[in-house]
Amino acid sequence: MNEKLLTRRRYKDGDDAPKPWQEEIFVADTSHKCPTYVHRTPPCQGSCPAGEDIRGWLNIARGIEKAPGDMCWQEYAFSRVTESNPFPAIMGRVCPAPCEDGCNRNEVEDHVGINAVEQFIGDYGLEHQLELHPSGEDTGKRVAIIGSGVAGLACAYQLRRMGHACTVFETHDELGGMMRYGIPGYRIPREVLDGEIQRILDLGVEVRRNTKIGVDIPLEELQTDFDAVFVGLGAQTGAALPVPGGDAPNCISGMAFLEAFNDGRLQHSAKRVLVIGGGDTAMDVAAVARRLGHIEHKRIHDRPENIILGHTTHDVASVAHRLGAEVTIVYRRPVAKMPATKMEIEHVTQEGVEIRDSLAPVEVVLGEDGRATALRVIEADWSTGKMVVKEGSETDIECDLIVAAIGQKGDLVGLEDLDNGWGLVDADPFYRAKNQTDLFVGGDVIKPHLLTTAIGHASIAAQGIDKFMAGADPSRRPRVDVHHFSLLDKLRETDHAPSEYQHEQDWATDAADYAIHNYEDRSSVEIVPSDELFLAHFNYDARRLRPESDITADSVLGYFGERVAGLSEDEAREEADRCMSCGMCFECDNCVIYCPQDAIFRVKKTESTMGRYVDTDYGKCIGCHICEDVCPSGYIRMGLGE
């Protein structure tokens, strides 16, 4: 249990010295500062690489923000999620959720299960065949998109909403990029992947498969035929192990291993598998190797490296004879420094994978046939913060297959002019390729990161492409660059839009029907911190955990079902109710109840909407600050009067 004091006090124990005179604004219990309602970005959204309005769809799920008309809450929440992310069922499953790390609820007891609620919303959308936001009116502009991974498809989605025609060029026969070929199918079920891709294609996106730009079609031809080009190639080429012997035939990359598995070519692995690396790709490789196992007395052409390199394909019938595989992860840093998510590390450990940390590869030991028989490693000491090898501590770890998951780069064959020397492409803050005007880029080909990061890149790049094709310069990006809640849009949605402003000087605008009074939107520049919330308002409430299959070292062989299931509707709503709605009113009534002057009142139900639940009678307000002190979400700030 968290031992932190769940409250916020204006004065702390030991505060016996006067403040600077600028802050000494109180006379008895009054001051010249009165409350205003300030919308700010919650840290979950600020931590989301895709900039999703997480607080928004959580408040919809919990029933605070109402859907228009007779729309159900699930459909309205789906609409809000897909403003920024067209893949909620996928991201709810595989995103490592940096939003949850940033969640202010961590200061109470535990973060909100954001991913779990998003998965529920995404699965509901697939089950009920909900559609994405529709295409905009045709602009006559055409955009070529290279790559059908998450970046390319998300960019196509946003561009179609703007009315631009899109053609996606894909090297493979099937779409999905890293989602299909880089992540095991049991983590992203193929019916989920296909369903979320099809929704984007249904918006009128053209696809040209089995076409490699730079080889089958020159990039210059695309730049001539289209008004703009988006490069979303991903980084599906793995780095080789950079030690002597690292080019042995049975030393392969993690990306090649996973692609062969996801293609269905690799049906079994090797008896002793070493995985080098500590990221999520390394965890996926290890988990897949444990599930695949190995077979005895296999023919030479059945060796894993021959399958992975595309020389042949395993006979599906052979899996009936497979046995378990010994899988070891070797990482040069301590386990605590592994970049993989804690949950993935825990899962592979439970499934029988051994992790040997603080070991640096030195050399691949080769047999007479030139194949790797062992990996020579040396112990590494990180106590000083830097790696110091322990001389004389070398040891050999025997193996039949080495999989290096130590880095990725893009396949830029035919696109060498874009290569920054590291197999990646440089881009500016608008995701425009360096020294290019009509070429934009996003996703792992900039820097390998999360699928959610690629979605964020795509959204910003689409806006840049739209500006470019309109002949305008890209707009300056806001400091907090996310998909913000708009009170004005909400007022329009609920038929409460202000009347037209005549742009003339006026007084007493608090009563004017063209003004949104006592509301300030700082969401583009401020993220609300936990120390500005009234945390004592929130009771301890345990997080609703998604149920997991009990997969152990003894049961992992041949298990390819989903490990983590989804929440029920009741569980999803209960989990959403734990959200503290940081930076936005969630109608708790604290300010109304505790105001000693009865200056704060609820807005009439006929005029109320999200962000417009309470108002202040400034003729009664004495500036005592109590409303700010008891506001759980930090929505009330003492600002008027300065």
Question: Looking at the structure, do residues 253 and 295 belong to the same domain, yes or no?
Answer: yes
**CATH code where residue 439 lies:** 3.50.50.60
Q: How far apart are CA 621 and CA 73, in angstroms?
A: 37
Q: How far apart are CA 389 and CA 385, in angstroms?
A: 12
Task: Tell whether 18 is covered by a domain.
Answer: no
Question: Looking at the structure, do residues 387 and 519 belong to the same domain, yes or no?
Answer: no
How high is the pLDDT of residue 237?
86
Question: Looking at the structure, do residues 488 and 465 belong to the same domain, yes or no?
Answer: no
Question: Looking at the structure, do residues 250 and 163 belong to the same domain, yes or no?
Answer: no
pLDDT for 380-428, tens place per residue? 999 999 999 999 999 999 999 999 999 888 889 999 999 999 999 999 9
Residue 383 to residues 139, 330, 367: CA-CA distances in angstroms?
A: 60, 19, 36
Question: Looking at the structure, do residues 500 and 588 belong to the same domain, yes or no?
Answer: yes
Question: Looking at the structure, do residues 85 and 217 belong to the same domain, yes or no?
Answer: no
DSSP letters of 4-65? Answer: S-----SS-TT--SPPPTTT---BTTB-S-EEEEEE-B-HHHHH-TT---HHHHHHHHTTSS
Its sign, for the CA torsion 72, 191, 353, 283, is: negative
Task: Tell whether 187 is covered by a domain.
Answer: yes
- The yes-or-no verdict on residue 197 having pLDDT over 60 is yes
How high is the pLDDT of residue 641?
54
pLDDT for 135-173, tens place per residue? 999 999 999 999 999 999 999 999 999 999 999 999 999
CA-based angle 295:301:306, to the nearest 5? Answer: 95
Q: How far apart are CA 381 and CA 377, in angstroms?
A: 13
What SS3 string covers 319-354?
Answer: HHHCECCEEEEECCCCHHHCCCCHHHHHHHHHCCCE
Task: Tell whether 278 is covered by a domain.
Answer: yes
pTM of the shown model: 0.91
Q: Into how many domains does the chain fold?
A: 3
Residue 365 lies in domain: 238-409
Task: Tell whether 374 is covered by a domain.
Answer: yes
Task: Tell whether 24 is covered by a domain.
Answer: no
Question: Looking at the structure, do residues 88 and 213 belong to the same domain, yes or no?
Answer: no
Task: Tell whether 148 is covered by a domain.
Answer: yes
Contact 196, 86 (CB under 8 A): yes
Residue 155 tokens read as 């960019």
Task: Tell whether 14 is covered by a domain.
Answer: no
Question: Looking at the structure, do residues 211 and 314 belong to the same domain, yes or no?
Answer: no
Beta bridge partners of 376: 363, 396
Banded pLDDT at 26 (limits 50, 70, 90): low
How high is the pLDDT of residue 289?
96
Residue 580 tokens read as 């503290």
Question: Looking at the structure, do residues 464 and 499 belong to the same domain, yes or no?
Answer: no
- The yes-or-no verdict on residue 9 having pLDDT over 80 is no
Q: How far apart are CA 613 and CA 97, in angstroms?
A: 31
Q: Which residues contact 531 (CB under 8 A, 6 or more apart)?
A: 8
pLDDT for 309-338, tens place per residue? 766 666 655 565 678 899 999 999 999 999
pLDDT for 631-641, tens place per residue? 999 999 987 55
How high is the pLDDT of residue 1?
44
How high is the pLDDT of residue 435?
85
Question: Looking at the structure, do residues 65 and 117 belong to the same domain, yes or no?
Answer: yes
Question: Looking at the structure, do residues 251 and 386 belong to the same domain, yes or no?
Answer: yes
Can you give the length of the chain in residues?
642
Task: Tell whether 514 is covered by a domain.
Answer: yes
Query: Which region holds residue 443: left if phi is over 0, alpha if psi is between -120 and 50, else beta?
Result: left
- The yes-or-no verdict on residue 463 having pLDDT over 80 is yes
Question: Looking at the structure, do residues 244 and 230 belong to the same domain, yes or no?
Answer: no
- The yes-or-no verdict on residue 16 having pLDDT over 80 is no
Query: Among residues 155, 119, 161, which one has the least CA distance to residue 137?
Result: 161
Alpha helices per DSSP H over 150-253 = 150-161, 178-181, 190-201, 219-225
